[in-house]
Amino acid sequence: MITSFELYNIFKKYELTFFTGIPDSTFADWMLFLAEHDEKLLTNIIACNECESIAICVGYYLASGKIGVAYMQNAGFGKTINPLTSLCNPELYSIPVLLMIGWRGEPGKLDEPQHKKMGRIMNLLLKDLEIPYVILPFDIGGIEREIKKAKNYLETNKAPYALIIKKGIINNKKSKENLLLNYEMTREMALKLIIDKFDQNEIIISTTGKTSRELYEYRDNHNEVHRKDFYMVGSMGCAASIGLGIALQKKGRRVIVIDGDGALIMQMGALATIGHKSPPNLIHIVFDNESHDSTGGQPTVSKSLNFKEIALNCNYKYSALIKSKSQLISELNKVKKVDGPSMLVIKVKQGSRKDLGRPKTSFIKLKNSFIRYLEDND
Ligand SMILES: Cc1ncc(C[n+]2csc(CCOP(=O)(O)OP(=O)(O)O)c2C)c(N)n1
């Protein structure tokens, strides 16, 4: 096992001090280290998605001749295939990028179902992409040897190379540093208020990570059925687009999308599509905790964004920024009466309950009962 500081020292020795990507809980402490030391010891750019991080590294290389490191969870690796096979490809521009990929769903290890397939095929995909990779060993000497080898390859071949990071290689023991967000509500509190308000034949789509886990558990604890909800697993950033697809078919039903700031930023282009199609029955709710809370609380860039105005500028018909419980209650009453698409941006604290559970029902069962709910309740 290696600490983040020891890892940084190895990267620095091989002139790798430029990092960009989307966080993964496999190296949560490393992500916090990068955020903490950005513009001091190193550069860290929190990207909107994994594809963007490759492109940032390409720009960095073109302008400085130096090699960037793109970090990601293997869930997001698929998003990099386009720039890796075009921009970086040795048959085209031949640009070296070091990938640092957290290995979720490693065969034989217990993990969430959405990680199983990518965990199994990631190495095969890298082989098909003709990107050499190494599974980083656990000892510091071995890690240094492999990073040196990677650097040599990148310089000699001017092509991408991947480091695969297993859980437990980077010490994650340092406690999570919560952002000091002085908001009244937690995500879970706000979620409960919303769910209680929409108690008719509404259709709910909840974003990936802890939001869906909290919603699932809330239904369980209240002996409510899950069929009203579509719980996203993986596919971060896709909740609003699923909502659009449904809203356009089910014009007589309200569709509530519950999103996160990280997920919204990841696929922010979806706002343009939603605004353009303008379904009046779509309500887009964003829990903005200024972080990727589900993977360890690493900051997003939401602090410098005004989602409320962005939505309106993308042709949403109504939008509000909410910071308190009383405001949330009044906006929920209002949003039921106006034509959408509408957006409610709710500022919430970071964090979740330690004993938060995970969906237990099979996803095929959940899908089938959700489809029946869509058919039955028009
Ligand atoms: C394409 C992709 N990249 C990364 C991940 C890993 N991941 C899962 S949840 C999450 C954070 C989501 O943050 P946000 O939408 O702000 O919601 P929060 O966890 O803060 O409630 C990340 C990075 C993923 N599932 N898919």
Which residue minimizes the CA distance to atom 2 of ligand 1?
76
Q: Cβ < 6 Å from ligand 1: which residues? A: 22-23, 73, 75-76, 79, 187, 207-211, 234, 236, 260-263, 287, 289, 291-295, 300
Give the nearest ligand 1 atom to 288 CA: 16
Give the nearest ligand 1 atom to 207 CA: 15
Tens digits of residue pLDDT in 138-171: 999 999 999 999 999 999 999 999 999 999 999 8
Place of tokens 């089910």: 250
The pLDDT value recorded for residue 100 is 98
Alpha carbon of 278 to ligand 1 centroid (Å) = 26
Q: pTM of the full predicted structure?
A: 0.95
Domain segments of the chain: what residues?
Answer: 4-165, 187-376
User: Quick one: average pLDDT of 86-109?
Assistant: 96
The pLDDT value recorded for residue 357 is 87
Domains 4-165 and 187-376 share a fold: yes
At the topology level, CATH places domain 4-165 in: Rossmann fold (3.40.50)
Interstrand relation of 298-299 and 291-292 (parallel, antiparallel or unpaired): antiparallel
| Level-2 CATH architecture, domain 187-376 | 3-Layer(aba) Sandwich (3.40)
> Which class for 92: exposed (0-12), middle (13-18), buried (19 or more C-beta within 10 A)?
exposed
Which residue minimizes the CA distance to atom 23 of ligand 1?
23
DSSP 182-248: --S--HHHHHHHHHHH--SS-EEEE-TTHHHHHHHHHHHHTT--STTEEE--S-TT-HHHHHHHHHH
Most confident of 50-54, 112-116, 372-376: 50-54
Which residue minimizes the CA distance to atom 9 of ligand 1?
209
User: Quick one: average pLDDT of 134-140?
Assistant: 96
User: Quick one: average pLDDT of 354-361?
Assistant: 88
| Res 77 pLDDT > 90 | yes
Yes or no: say if 161 and 150 are a contact pair by the CB < 8 Å rule: yes
Least confident of 180-184, 275-279, 350-354: 180-184
Alpha carbon of 187 to ligand 1 centroid (Å) = 15
Residues 6+ apart with CB under 8 A from 209: 236, 260, 263, 293, 294, 295
